[in-house]
Amino acid sequence: MLAAVGVDSLQEIFERQIPEGVRLNRELELPAGLPEQDVYEHLRALAARNTSAEDELSFLGAGMYDHYVPALIDMLTERSEFLTPYTPYQPEISQGGLQVMFEYQTAISELTGLPVSNASAYEGPSAVAAAGYLAKLHNGKAKLVVSAGMHPHSIETLRTNAHGYGMEVVEVPLRDGVTDPDAWAQAIDEDTSAAIFAQPNFYGAVEDGAALSAAAKAIAGEPQDGSSAGDPARVRASGPVVIAQVDPIALGVLKAPGECGVDVAVGEGQPLGNRLDFGGPSFGLFAAREEYLRRMPGRIAGETLDVDGRRGFVLTLQTREQHIRREKATSNICTAQALNALAGVVYLTWLGRRGIVELGELLLARTHYARETLSAIEGVEKLHEQPVIREFALRLDADVAAVRRRCAAEGVNPGVDLEALTGRETDRGGLLVAVTEKRSRADIDRLADVLAQAVAAERKATVAVYPMAGHR
Amino acid sequence: MAQASYPDELLYHPEHDWARIDAADPALATLGITWYAQDALGEVVFFDPPAVGTTLAKDASYAEVESVKAVSDVIAPLSGEIVEVNEALSENSAMINEDPYGEGWLVKVRLSEPSERDSLMDAATYRATLAG
């Protein structure tokens, strides 16, 4: 080959092609090679430094939750027909894959009370950002109004994307743990493309979704001079798109977003049959009213009949994707998270219509017990008094990082340090505690004991500093 | 419309668009895509019209038409401002295939540079470009 291209060595190719100034001209600073057995030992030692949610008593949540994943899910997702394929560019040959998408979409549609679901997005935050872009495509307006109750990662992703497509993000503060209704109404105007809130919100509080939707629609959605009367398409186009980021598990006990005036529901799919897996991969859910069908990212599978009248499945819509829009694609969710979404639909099927309600009721009871028990501790109070479903925020009269270290020493992870995650000064002392069906009453009692001791010790440590300062 | 057809009374743009200048008002034109364009696209499933009042620039894209194969730009043969869009297409975009010069018209435009029509082809010239 070298002779064919007319050079004497591989090095000569680099020297001819790469300018002197950008060449490294030395070896990379990498450790020497190791035998495979030594590499295995090295990697094993690194892996042993991780702490799994099963190795400690974990009350972590903040968007991803440690639910039980039945063996059924692994059995089905590990089938090679599901586990190994790449994105179906000749989709109709993979009837099983399309049927999974169709059944997944049906389940998400029923759960959200919205008629159209796509076959999944990458994860929650990117689904939020994609919904923001859908709003821009729908009404061409430039402002996204976002509740501060959204997950901070979702707001961050939305901001990053909005910058790229020339939109402005306006954050509406919370009051008493939920979106401030006055500030919400004030922030939404005729230039607002979308109004976005989370249900339940990042601090665990249940928002009044119907009121937030109605307030958004009332401000810009109605024709001002009656000129659009009788033209429903125009009325809809003039108002903001109402987007809710939902926790699918909470929908077992909450009114469906579609019944609360929400136009687009997006969310993190991980709680549905996917383990924490150190943060991913997971999938995003994305459902909407029919008028947004053609603006939706990703793919939609449909049910049909073949020439012999037998039930079959097709890839019906992919209006923003690369294989239909070519260089003008505005979404690229191809292989996506189909396997994770499969876990999601198997989980929903396993739970069933009754099961998801019962799970929600169980979470309500346990979470209520945990919130009351923990807030009874000296130096611990509720961050807000709003109703909660599966997660709640506390305020500690102590340094949260130090308290968490003390709890960790006892094998307990009491929850997320709010200020560390949000960077908000108002979150100082905040601890976000999540409860799943895997955390028993006894587990909650143990958390209460460990947390009480840790808070007491840290308060004492803090108090002890002041007399010393006084002596100086 | 199964057979190729290029009416003599229309003007043609190389990107396979046609313009019909209004008989009574030379500054008003109806625009659409040609038989060749709809045949190449295949079954049209969606037409995304621009809003009335949108400004068109000759040779630039002003709308999108989606077929079962791909989404394609629709190129403006003339410059002007949209005064009417074919609302019926939102319910029945197949009219673009079935009757590209009649029921399948796309938009009506108030021309800003009526003299641009001189740069468009007549039917015979357009037909010759397709033959080549």
Could you tell me if residue A50 is inside a domain?
no
Gap from A325 CA to chain B (nearest CA, Å) = 5
- Mean per-residue pLDDT, A233-255: 83
Could you tell me if residue B4 is inside a domain?
no
Chain B's closest residue to A328, CA to CA, is B71
**A297 and A385: one domain?**
no
Q: B47 to chain A: which residues are within 8 Å by CB?
A: none
Do A326 and B71 count as a contact with CB atoms less than 8 A apart?
A: yes
**A81 and A16: one domain?**
no
Place of tokens 């003339």: B78
Q: Does B48 touch chain A (CB under 8 A)?
A: yes
Could you tell me if residue A45 is inside a domain?
no
Model pLDDT for residues A163-180, shown as the tens digit of each residue: 998 999 999 999 999 999
CATH number, domain of A367, equals 3.90.1150.10
Could you tell me if residue B128 is inside a domain?
no
The domain total for chain A is 3
Range of the domain at A406: 57-65+356-471
The domain total for chain B is 1
Domain boundary among A349, A365, A387: A349
Q: Does B66 touch chain A (CB under 8 A)?
A: yes
* ipTM of the complex as predicted: 0.70
Could you tell me if residue B5 is inside a domain?
no
Local confidence band at A113 (pLDDT 50, 70, 90 cut-offs) = very high
Could you tell me if residue A146 is inside a domain?
yes
Range of the domain at B60: 11-122
CATH number, domain of A334, equals 3.40.640.10
CATH number, domain of B83, equals 2.40.50.100
| Alpha carbon A199 to its chain's center | 12
**A15 and A79: one domain?**
no
pTM for the model stands at 0.85
Could you tell me if residue B6 is inside a domain?
no
Could you tell me if residue A112 is inside a domain?
yes
Gap from A291 CA to chain B (nearest CA, Å) = 12
Could you tell me if residue B2 is inside a domain?
no
With an 8 Å Cβ cutoff, the interface of chain A facing chain B consists of 294, 319, 324-326, 328
Could you tell me if residue A424 is inside a domain?
yes
**A337 and A436: one domain?**
no
**A111 and A18: one domain?**
no
Could you tell me if residue A46 is inside a domain?
no
3-state DSSP of chain A = CHHHHCCCCHHHHHHHHCCHHHCCCCCCCCCCCCCHHHHHHHHHHHHCCCCCCCCCEECCCCCCCCCCCCHHHHHHHCCHHHHCCCCCCCHHHCHHHHHHHHHHHHHHHHHHCCCEECCCECCHHHHHHHHHHHHHHHHCCCEEEEECCCCHHHHHHHHHHHHHCCCEEEEECEECCEECHHHHHHHCCCCEEEEEEEECCCCCECCCHHHHHHHHHHHHCCCCCCCCCCCHHHHHHHCCEEEEEECCCHHHCCCCHHHHCCCEEEEECCCCCCCCHHHCCCCEEEEECHHHHHHCCCCEEEEEECCCCCEEEEEEECCCCHHHHHHHCCCCCCCCCHHHHHHHHHHHHHHHHHHHHHHHHHHHHHHHHHHHHHHCCCCEEECCCCCECCEEEEEECCCHHHHHHHHHHCCEECCEEHHHHHCCHHHCCEEEEECCCCCCHHHHHHHHHHHHHHHHHHHHHHHHHHHHHHHC
Model pLDDT for residues A285-328, shown as the tens digit of each residue: 999 999 998 889 999 999 999 999 999 999 888 878 777 777 77
Could you tell me if residue B130 is inside a domain?
no
- Could you read off the pLDDT tens digit of each residue along chain B, which spans 132 residues? 678 999 999 999 999 999 999 999 999 999 999 999 999 999 998 898 888 999 999 999 999 898 877 888 999 999 999 999 999 998 899 999 999 999 999 999 999 999 999 999 999 999 999 986
Q: Does B15 touch chain A (CB under 8 A)?
A: no
Q: Does B71 touch chain A (CB under 8 A)?
A: yes
Do A319 and B66 count as a contact with CB atoms less than 8 A apart?
A: yes
SS3 B90: helix
Could you tell me if residue A232 is inside a domain?
yes
Q: B71 to chain A: which residues are within 8 Å by CB?
A: 319, 324-326, 328
Of B46, B48, B70, the CB nearest to A326: B70
Model pLDDT for residues A329-382, shown as the tens digit of each residue: 778 776 668 899 999 999 999 999 999 999 999 999 999 999 999 999 999 999
**A408 and A427: one domain?**
yes
**A198 and A86: one domain?**
yes
